[in-house]
Chain A
């Protein structure tokens, strides 16, 4: 038992700490519980939609397969790097908190700064990933049946751009109509389509299928259309990674504020670095959420 007031002598004046934690730390934990429940609501909604459309849900490794400055397909590599950066920034954060307990101001400044750098690199990576997702990769064809089909060469995924004979990454804005794609399929019999349920059709079957169902050619992804497949995939991607990215962004801002306070010596005068510890809790939580986003968006 902690020290308890003797209430029989005088009225209770507060001051007991049944949890042996300060008010601020307790409130940070309570906020984090509510935030954890919010994120689990988002992720379970995502799971619900995946189970609703299991046949036609985009395959994450077809979607996130690129690495900056590298050609070809490298599924998972870039998000693995982002995960590593965030875990690393969590480590630097614990080190900052640890040196805060020891009242070593300069080491707190060093490790806090490195944490901010890690957060900024993560945000930059996420911006790259969003940019790539919005710009699109291989293009897709929208159909009347809310399912998106893709261009293939035999049993391998190809792209709308190669079928149309243009460079998809030349920086210009392309637009193709469904009729143009169908006529290029007729001219190039080595191409065919892959239906949303990953069934490959022959060239002539593809042309018949598209003539009956194709409505539009989709290049890139936004909240309404998504070249990779079901539009809900893009909606959840933007919403959940966006909400997480917003947490990282606010985390970086808060870290910068407390870094300024550390440099000014505010916590030195206060006699303890508990503020660094509280912000550290928030920062680790951001890492914790990413661990789950990483699993459910990229691995599963």
Chain B
């Protein structure tokens, strides 16, 4: 396997990236910069920033720590596609249609 000869440096690289992104998230959550508090697409701008940073962290965990980025292409897409199609679809249905829920009261 390819990583048998690989050292450990890439693990610590991913660790520092994850730590930096988490620190950035916590910092933004505590400071709440006013330029990020405007509304955008149904929620605050800062929430979109949080979601993008979270997806970056998730990508590093799945592709590096879980090694999926270095697996065969067929395996990679077999794992990723169901999640990448079904989860946004579920969110779209639940969150957009959820707007009617208050009318049912």
* Chain A residues within an 8 Å CB radius of B29: 61, 75-76, 298-299
Contact indicator A33/B83 (Cβ below 8 Å): yes
The B interface is mostly helix, strand or loop, or mixed, namely helix
Contact indicator A95/B72 (Cβ below 8 Å): no
Is A80 interfacial (CB 8 A cutoff)?
Answer: yes
User: Interface digits, A29-69 against B, CB 8 Å rule (1 contact, 0 not)?
Assistant: 10011001100110011011001100000000100000000
Contact indicator B47/A94 (Cβ below 8 Å): no
Is A91 interfacial (CB 8 A cutoff)?
Answer: yes
Do A21 and B66 contact each other (CB < 8 Å), given the known contacts A47-B98, A291-B61? no
Closest residue of B by beta carbon distance from A83: B22
Extra 20 A-B pairs, beta carbons < 8 Å, given A294-B54, A299-B29: A19-B71, A20-B75, A29-B79, A32-B79, A37-B87, A48-B95, A77-B26, A84-B22, A88-B15, A90-B65, A91-B14, A94-B65, A98-B3, A102-B4, A281-B66, A284-B65, A288-B62, A288-B66, A292-B58, A295-B50
Select which of B30, B54, B74, B82 is within 8 A of A292 by beta carbon: B54
Is B1 interfacial (CB 8 A cutoff)?
Answer: yes
The A interface is mostly helix, strand or loop, or mixed, namely helix
Contact indicator A288/B58 (Cβ below 8 Å): yes
CB distance from B45 to the nearest CB of A (A): 12
Is B78 interfacial (CB 8 A cutoff)?
Answer: yes
Instruction: Supply 23 A–B pairs (Cβ within 8 Å), ascending by A.
Output: A19-B75, A19-B78, A21-B72, A40-B91, A51-B42, A51-B95, A51-B98, A76-B29, A90-B61, A91-B12, A91-B15, A94-B11, A95-B8, A95-B11, A98-B8, A101-B1, A102-B4, A281-B66, A287-B61, A288-B58, A299-B25, A299-B47, A300-B50
